[in-house]
Amino acid sequence: MTILRQVAIWWAAVWLVLLAAQMLAIGTMPGGWSRNDYSMLTRTWFVSGEAVLAALTALVIAALCTGSTLAGRRLMTTRPALARVPAALLLLLISLFYFASWSLYAVLNEFIGLDAIRMLGANGLQLLEHAQVMAANQLVMVPLIALIATLTMLLLQWLIARIAPRGQQRILATLVMTLAAAAVFTALYGATLRGRVLPVQGKMITMEDVAFLRASQRSGPLTFLREDAIDALVRQAAPVSISEGYVSRPLVTPEAYQTRIGDEFRELNVVILVIESLRPDVFEIFDGDRTAMPLLESVAHESVRFHDAYAASSHSNYADIAIVSSQYPLRSRNTHYYPENSPYPKVMLQDVLAPLGYRSAMFSSQNEDWGGMINFIDSGGFETIVHAGNFQGELREEHVLYRNRAFEKYRREMNLKPRGGKLDDAVTIDLAREWLHQLDDDQPFYLHLNMQSSHLPYYVPPEFPRRFFTEQGEALDILREGRLIELTSAQMHAAYLDSLAYVDVQVARLIDDLKQSGRWENTVLVVTGDTATSFDTLVDYDGDGAMTKIIGNGGMLIEDAVRIPLFVRAPELPSRDVRQQVQHIDILPGVFHLLGLPAHPGLQGLNPFAPIPEQRPAFLVAQTPAATQFGAVLGDWKLIHDLDLGRHIFEYVGDGTATPEDPAVRQRVRYLQAELADWVQAQLAYYDQPELFDKFYPPVREWHKDRNRIASNATE
C-alpha cells in the first residue's frame, strides 16, 4: 500500500469521526441545530467552516499517524501490533481537546482558546478541582467519549485498509472528497450571501452579526481556536504612544517619598478585609432586603459608605491586585499572568509603612498562586503571607471534592499538593488573631485579609446553623454534596447568604480581639468585595434574543458581577453616605489620606474622601476564557467593548428609565467610547514599552486640566 493511500485512509477515518461528532454536538448544544430562527442554508453554513478546518486538521493528523506507524513497524519488528500505539495516543489527545472544548462550550458558551490553554498551564490543578465541584460528570464523560472516538477512528481505519475491497475504497474516497468539496463550497458561498442568509434587524447587534459570530467562532472548537489565534496576532500591534491627556509620572525612590511625610501622619492600624463575591444588597444599609452579616452591618453604620462603587474586574486575579496596588489590571491584550519579580513599578502599602515602624501580614483563604498573584503581592513588605497555596495544615473538607478517594489517590501518586482548595475562613481568622496576639499593644500594623467561604460552592461547616437555606431532605443533600448546578437560583442565593453569615461570625472574632486589646479605636477598617456575583441575571449573549442566565462571576462585565459595596470605618471619621462613583483603585489613596500620608505618584486611583471629577469613568476589564471585555461606567450608563463580538454595548444601569435615542445619551456614548479607547491605549502603550518601567509609573489621566471641555462633552 502506497504512503499516499495510507494517508488518505487515515484522513477519511479521522475526518468522518470528527465530522460526526461536530454534527451531533452542534445539534444538541444550545444554539445549535435546534434553533428554529435560522434557515437550513444558514445552519449548513455554520457547520461547513468547522468541517473544512476539521478536514485540514485530519489531514495533518493522518500524515502524522502514517509516519509514526511506518516508523513503529521498522523499530518494532518483533511486535508490529505496537506500531499503532503512537498514532492511538495522538488520536486520543486530539479527541480529548475536541470534546473538552465542546464541554466548556456547554458550560460557558465559549470553546477552548488561547487564554484557556494558558490558564490550564498556569493553574491546571486548581481548575481541575473547581471543575470537579461544578461539573464532575463532565470530568468523567469527556475522557470516556474521547476514548470511544479514538477507538472508532482506529477501527474505521482498520476496516477501510484491511477489509474494504479496492472498489469500495474508491467509492468511499469519492464520497468523502465530495463531502469535503461541498463543505468548502458552502463555507465560501454562505459568506457571500450575508444579506440573504439572514434578515438584518434593527438591533445594536444584528442577526447578521450573530450569524458571522457563530460561523467564525461558535460553530466548533477549531474555528474558535483559529479566530482566537488570528485575533491574538492582530492584537500584537502596539499603540504608538500613550493617549493624549494621560501622563506617566517619574519614579520616586522609597527614601525620597519618606522625606515627604510630615506632621500630618497618623500612626493608625490598617485592616483591609476583602470578601469573595460580595454584593451590596446583602446589607440593609446598602438597600438590601435582609441582613446576612449583622456584625459588618453594624460596622457599616459607623462607616463612610460608598454606594456607587465598582470592582476593577469581574475576576479575582485582576480585581484583588487593583485593591492592593491602586493600579488598573489591564496590562496586555490577552490574560496577564503576573511574572516572578514583576518588572513594572508598583506602590504597595506594606512597603510604604515598613520604614515607619509598621509590621504587616496577609492571611488569605484563597490560593494566591492563582494567576501568579503572589508574585505581585509578595513585594517584601509583608513579614508573613499565609494563603491556601502555602498553608502547611489541612484545607477544608468541602463537599464531595475533598472526600473523593480516587482523586486523592491520583494526587498522592502524582505528588501533587492539595492546593486547589480554600482555607476555612475560621482558620484564616485564627492565623490573623495569633499574629496580632504576638504584637505589642502599641505596635502599629497593617493586616490584609481575604475571605473565601462565599465563593462557589458556598462552604459552611455542617455544624454551622443555617439561617437562609432552611430546606431539608434532598435539597440539603444536594447542597452538601456540592451539586449546586441542580439547585434553583433562589436556593443558591440562600446558600450564598449562609456562607456570608459564616464569614461574619469569623470576622466578629477578630474585631472582638481588637476591641478587647484597645486597638479598635486606633484602627482603620476597609471592607469591600473582590467582585460581586450574579444568580439570575439574564443576558442576550449574542444579541439574537436568546437569553442566557448568568450565575457567578469571572466572565462578562455585567452589573451584578462588578457593582460592589465599599465602606471604611476610621477613628474620628463621621459616618455618612457617599454617592460619588469610586472604584477599587481608589481604596489605597483613601487609606493614604486617612493616615496623613502624601499622595503617591505611583497610584492610579484618587482619594475617595475628596471630590472626584464627575467626568472620570470607572474603567473595567475582563480577560478570561468566558469573556474579553473592556468597560467604562459613568453615572447611569455603562459602555462595554466586547472584543469577542467586536461590538460596543451600551447599557443603562440607573434606577429610572432612559432611552438611547436621547441626544444627551448619544453624546454620553461618544464620550465614553473616546475615554475607553484612550484608557485602553494608555495602559497597553505603557506596558508594551518595558523601557518605561525604570523611569515612570503607569499613566494617569489629568482630569483637572481639561475639566471644562470634558464636562461639557459629557453632558451636552
Predicted local distance difference test score (pLDDT) of residue 308: 96
Query: Do 98 and 203 share a domain, yes or no?
Result: yes
Pairwise pLDDT comparison (110 vs 546), residue with the higher score: 110
Predicted local distance difference test score (pLDDT) of residue 83: 72
Q: Which residue from 299, 312, 314, 305 is spatially nearest to 286, judged by alpha carbons?
A: 305
Whole-number Å distance between alpha carbons of 520 and 437: 14
Query: Do 349 and 211 share a domain, yes or no?
Result: no
Pairwise pLDDT comparison (37 vs 448), residue with the higher score: 448
Predicted local distance difference test score (pLDDT) of residue 9: 83
Q: Examine the pLDDT at 539 and tell me if it is beyond 60.
A: no
> Residue 541: inside a domain, yes or no?
yes
Tell me the mean pLDDT in the region 657-677.
82
Dump the DSSP string for 77-93. Answer: SS-GGGGGHHHHHHHHH
280: CB partners within 8 A, 6+ apart: 286, 287, 288, 307, 532, 563, 564, 565
Beta bridge partners of 626: none
> Residue 137: inside a domain, yes or no?
yes
Least-confidence region, from 304-308, 426-430, 643-647, 655-659: 655-659
Whole-number Å distance between alpha carbons of 267 and 594: 10
Predicted local distance difference test score (pLDDT) of residue 80: 61
Pairwise pLDDT comparison (42 vs 489), residue with the higher score: 489
Sign of CA dihedral 79, 158, 146, 46: positive
% of the chain surpassing 90 pLDDT: 43
CATH assignment of the domain containing 381: 3.40.720.10
> Residue 355: inside a domain, yes or no?
yes
> Residue 621: inside a domain, yes or no?
no
Query: Do 277 and 227 share a domain, yes or no?
Result: no
Pairwise pLDDT comparison (132 vs 710), residue with the higher score: 132
Predicted local distance difference test score (pLDDT) of residue 172: 60
> Residue 387: inside a domain, yes or no?
yes
pTM listed for this prediction: 0.76
Pairwise pLDDT comparison (600 vs 703), residue with the higher score: 600
Query: Do 207 and 333 share a domain, yes or no?
Result: no
Pairwise pLDDT comparison (179 vs 388), residue with the higher score: 388
What is the band of 701 on the pLDDT scale with cuts at 50, 70, 90? very high
Pairwise pLDDT comparison (179 vs 583), residue with the higher score: 583
Q: Which of 610, 630, 645 is the last residue of a domain?
A: 610
Q: Examine the pLDDT at 417 and tell me if it is beyond 50.
A: no
Whether residue 276 contacts residue 561, with contact meaning beta carbons closer than 8 Å, is answered with: no
Q: Examine the pLDDT at 697 and tell me if it is beyond 50.
A: yes
Least-confidence region, from 535-549, 565-579, 603-617: 535-549
The amino acid present at 117, given as its one-letter code, is I
Q: Examine the pLDDT at 203 and tell me if it is beyond 60.
A: no
For 601-633, how does the pLDDT look when each residue is reduced to its tens digit (9 = 90+)?
A: 999 999 999 999 999 999 999 998 778 899 999
Predicted local distance difference test score (pLDDT) of residue 301: 98
> Residue 620: inside a domain, yes or no?
no
Q: Which of 610, 644, 674 is the last residue of a domain?
A: 610
Pairwise pLDDT comparison (81 vs 208), residue with the higher score: 81
Q: Examine the pLDDT at 405 and tell me if it is beyond 60.
A: no
Query: Do 229 and 311 share a domain, yes or no?
Result: no
Query: Do 211 and 305 share a domain, yes or no?
Result: no
Predicted local distance difference test score (pLDDT) of residue 202: 31
Q: Which of 178, 209, 234 is the last residue of a domain?
A: 234
Whether residue 538 contacts residue 268, with contact meaning beta carbons closer than 8 Å, is answered with: no
Of 542-551, 575-584, 623-632, which has the strongest mean pLDDT?
Answer: 575-584
Q: Which residue from 103, 230, 84 is spatially nearest to 157, judged by alpha carbons?
A: 84
Query: Do 454 and 552 share a domain, yes or no?
Result: yes
What is the band of 706 on the pLDDT scale with cuts at 50, 70, 90? low
> Residue 31: inside a domain, yes or no?
yes
From residue 662, give the alpha-carbon distance in Å to each of 228, 630, 638, 669, 673.
Answer: 36, 24, 15, 11, 17
Q: Which domain holds residue 534?
A: 270-610
Predicted local distance difference test score (pLDDT) of residue 51: 76
Least-confidence region, from 312-316, 359-363, 575-579, 701-705: 701-705
Whole-number Å distance between alpha carbons of 246 and 619: 14
Pairwise pLDDT comparison (604 vs 226), residue with the higher score: 604
Of 69-83, 195-209, 408-422, 504-518, which has the strongest mean pLDDT?
Answer: 504-518
Least-confidence region, from 36-45, 527-536, 682-691: 36-45
Tell me the mean pLDDT in the region 164-183.
63
> Residue 664: inside a domain, yes or no?
no
Query: Do 35 and 158 share a domain, yes or no?
Result: yes
Predicted local distance difference test score (pLDDT) of residue 621: 98
Least-confidence region, from 48-57, 230-239, 272-281, 597-606: 230-239
What is the band of 555 on the pLDDT scale with cuts at 50, 70, 90? confident
Pairwise pLDDT comparison (71 vs 560), residue with the higher score: 560
Tell me the mean pLDDT in the region 282-287.
95
Predicted local distance difference test score (pLDDT) of residue 159: 82
Predicted local distance difference test score (pLDDT) of residue 593: 98
Number of domains in the chain: 2
Placement of cell 508490529 in the chain:
80
% of the chain surpassing 70 pLDDT: 74
Tell me the mean pLDDT in the region 308-320.
96
Query: Do 214 and 274 share a domain, yes or no?
Result: no
Query: Do 298 and 224 share a domain, yes or no?
Result: no
Tell me the mean pLDDT in the region 454-482.
84
Predicted local distance difference test score (pLDDT) of residue 215: 46
Query: Do 205 and 281 share a domain, yes or no?
Result: no
295: CB partners within 8 A, 6+ apart: 504, 505, 507, 508, 511
From residue 289, give the alpha-carbon distance in Å to each of 113, 282, 292, 553.
Answer: 41, 8, 10, 22
Cell of 675: 475615554
Least-confidence region, from 105-119, 312-326, 407-421, 656-670: 407-421
Whether residue 114 contacts residue 334, with contact meaning beta carbons closer than 8 Å, is answered with: yes
Pairwise pLDDT comparison (224 vs 402), residue with the higher score: 224
Whole-number Å distance between alpha carbons of 464 and 161: 64
Least-confidence region, from 54-68, 350-364, 408-422, 490-504: 408-422
Query: Do 142 and 199 share a domain, yes or no?
Result: yes
Whether residue 539 contacts residue 629, with contact meaning beta carbons closer than 8 Å, is answered with: no
Average per-residue pLDDT for the chain: 81
Least-confidence region, from 136-140, 214-218, 711-715: 711-715
> How big is the CA angle at 92 (ends 91 and 97), to the nearest 5 degrees?
100
Predicted local distance difference test score (pLDDT) of residue 402: 35
Predicted local distance difference test score (pLDDT) of residue 236: 54
